[in-house]
Amino acid sequence: MKPVYYARPLIGEEEKARVMAVLESGMIAMGPQTAEFQRKFAEYVGVDYAVATNSGTSALHVALLAAGIQPGDKVITTPFTFIATSNSILYCGAVPVFADVDPRTFNIDPESIKRILDAESDVKAILVVHLYGLACEMDPILEMARDRGLVIIEDCAQAHGALYKGKPVGALGDVGVFSFYPTKNMTTGEGGMVVTRSKDIADRALKLINHGRSDRYLHDMLGYNYRMTDIAAAIGLAQLEKLDGFNARRRANARVFNSLLSDVPALVLPCEPDHCYHVYHQYTIRAERRDELKEHLDASGIQTSIVYPISQAKQPLYRSLGLDDAEIPVADSLSSEVLSLPIHPGLTPDELVRVSDAIHSFYGLKS
């Protein structure tokens, strides 16, 4: 039987035509397509500036540097995410400080942030992650940041098009970051974007991605080769036009799963607070006997993923740096419970039912 794929980018004739136009133009490196992609993505997010990069990780690095993060600065972040988030803090010579997460949303817990801020006076920034496509509870985080003069960086790598109280993620803090890796809600193959309302941050980001260049062969700061190509930007322009449709299909798939799996007491299904618009980069459940369930689904030809099986604070790298003493019981507990099911927009109704039937079968229930 054909596998039910966990993730599958949808590339159509529009992307192919745009890429061929770039190849035929002779302008393959960062050029007019990238400029147009930056402009249209900034417009989509509702900010003034966007700077395209060659990966989501480089965008994180640039965003932190452009926002003024320096060696020794403490940056509060979540331990329950992909390692690029906390690694980008290390790239700056700064120190990640791990707050715990909310067991319902999987996002960073404002109360845990507050406890850290009450105990430590030298925090410079908060790097939030809108995990799995759901916006963080931003109002209390923004209030704490305003009261203490902290920088807010939003990692929106999994949340293209997500909303918090009607506002797009990426436009809530000082600077936002998106990834266009193939598994994301939209892709450029590899790529990222830094978004901001601040001209100063945008100007610094533009320099940082291009060897610190202020003019041709004039460099006034240390920079990097983090530029996006016009080939990637061409794919991005086509994907951006489809993003809302992709997200609508992800949300429709999530509604089907919510209905089909609501009678399985061994599962905790994803939540969507009333004031949020979830774009379901992942449909992540908490499951009893998680590892056995995953093996059962694998044997049934259904691809799943454990996102994430170990918190950042417990990674060998962070243990070696002495950063593993964070009080994060929820994050550590979730690592042994979460399982992400296929949710991408290419799934068929029959495939959704097949996933549900396999889960019911594992727990000895009728579909």
351 alpha-carbon distance from chain centroid = 25
Rama region for 166: left / alpha / beta (φ>0; ψ in -120 to 50; rest): left
pLDDT values of the chain reduced to their tens digit, one per residue, 367 residues: 899 999 999 999 999 999 999 999 999 999 999 999 999 999 999 999 999 999 999 999 999 999 999 999 999 999 999 999 999 999 999 999 999 999 999 999 999 999 999 999 899 999 999 999 999 999 999 999 999 999 999 999 999 999 999 999 999 999 999 999 999 999 999 999 999 999 999 999 999 999 999 888 899 999 999 999 999 999 999 999 999 999 999 999 999 999 999 999 999 999 999 999 999 999 999 999 999 999 999 999 999 999 999 999 999 999 999 998 899 999 999 999 999 999 999 999 999 999 999 999 999 998 8
Q: Roughly what angle, to the nearest 10 degrees, separates helices 56-66 and 84-91?
A: 40
Answer yes or no: do 182 and 64 share one domain.
Answer: yes
Considering the domain architecture, whether residues 231 and 255 belong to the same structural domain is answered as: no
Same domain, 47 and 107: yes
Assess if residue 101 is contained within a domain.
yes
Split into its structural domains, the chain has a count of 2
Distance (Å, whole) CA 282 – CA 85? 17
Look-up: residue for tokens 């996006």?
Answer: 228
Same domain, 261 and 355: yes
Q: Which residues pair with 96 in a beta bridge?
A: 75
83, 218: one domain? yes
Return the CATH number at 334: 3.90.1150.10
Say if CB 326 and CB 97 are below 8 A apart. Answer: yes
Separation in Å, CA 275 to CA 41, 54, 163, 239, 331: 23, 33, 8, 26, 24
Q: Give the residue numbers spanning the domain of 159.
A: 13-238
**Count helices and strands in the chain by DSSP H and E runs:** 12, 15
